[in-house]
Amino acid sequence: MPRTLILAAAFAATLLTQPAFAVSAPTPLRVMSFNTRTTLGTHDGPEQWPNRRDLFVQTIAAAHPDVMGTQELTQIQGDYVVQRLPEYRWFGLDRRGGHSDEHMGVFYRRDRLRLVRSGNFWLSNTPDVPGSNSWHTPFPRMATWGLFEEKAGRRRFYLFDTHLFYREEDEPARAKGVRVLLGQMAKIMGNSRLPVVVTGDFNTVPTSEAYKLMAERLTDVRTVAAEVRGPGETFHNFTGKADKRIDWMFEKGFAPLSFATITDNREGLYPSDHFPIFATLQWSGPAGR
């Protein structure tokens, strides 16, 4: 037999005796939620934005999320983050429908994700009316959302980011706001079975009606993640000693691998008056559209 045929036969035999190549698992999605502490009408002294903005950016860079929902974000803050971290883009309107007030700004890694479509709605009786406000609360509240697609795996998911009413007497309004949020999510997602993540500052604790309404439809990532690090409580008012778990992350359609409350600081200076939360979520189903 000619030498070339002998080599070819040997190579074919080797292939037949080798185990099939394993299909590598998709890269988990890295998700962050971060209340920035607004620059509007604040008197934060040593904690004012110019003093903590680089630490804020460093905290994001260290976690390196693929997507991040923020609350209280002003345009100057959002633009500073993407100036320092150009691998990210951000989008969203402010709660008045423009760009001069607080945003639920959503950031994403443009090397990993493509934004397919996005939008905003308000937590009111008229959610499609920008700046609309109901239930006798001082400020309009809203949600910003995006449908994303992985550039590599072509997997798609939704992210919704929100910030509920803040006063103690606003508990009924927070429950109403969650009902609007869930209703709008169902309207936007339609019959899609794509996975979804909800990030936000809910300004209430897990014993509240607002939380129970969320937990009926979605899963609190912290409660099911295989690995959990950091305190449960997230609001610390720049003291580093948090006393309320008001920042939540919910999901449906993922398998939560890990969850962390990030308490990093620089000699007692914190990037915000909230601890950010961070999770890695494994895709639990095939790529979908």
Q: What's the confidence (pLDDT) of residue 285?
A: 63
The one-letter amino acid at 47:
E
State the Cα angle at 57 between 258 and 166, rounded to 5°: 70
Strand order through the sheet with 277-283: 88-91, 106-109, 67-71, 29-35, 277-283, 254-261, 227-229
Largest CA distance in the chain: 91
Half-sphere exposure of 219 (CA within 13 A, CB side): 16
Q: Is the pTM of this model over 0.85?
A: yes
E-only strand ranges, the chain: 29-35, 67-71, 88-91, 106-109, 113-122, 142-150, 156-163, 196-201, 219-220, 227-229, 247-252, 254-261, 277-283
Q: What's the confidence (pLDDT) of residue 7?
A: 40
Host H or E run for residue 215: helix 209-217
Query: What residues contact 196, with CB distance under 8 A and at least 6 apart?
Result: 157, 158, 159, 160, 185, 189, 218, 251, 252, 253
- Kindly state the DSSP code that residue 13 receives in the 8-state scheme: H
- Asked if residue 33 lies in contact with residue 249, where contact means CB atoms within 8 angstroms, the answer is yes
Q: What's the confidence (pLDDT) of residue 103?
A: 98
Cα–Cα distance, 278 to 130 (Å, whole number): 30
What is the dihedral angle through the alpha carbons of 90, 151, 33, 126, rounded to the nearest 10 degrees? 60
- Asked if residue 201 lies in contact with residue 177, where contact means CB atoms within 8 angstroms, the answer is no
The one-letter amino acid at 15:
L
Cα–Cα distance, 55 to 61 (Å, whole number): 10
Neighbours of 94 (CB within 10 A): 23
Cα–Cα distance, 60 to 263 (Å, whole number): 12
Mark the ranges of the chain whose per-residue pLDDT is less than 50: 1-22, 288
Listed residue (37, 34, 48, 40) closest to 269, CA to CA: 48
Domain 25-283 has CATH 3.60.10.10: yes
Q: What's the confidence (pLDDT) of residue 24?
A: 65
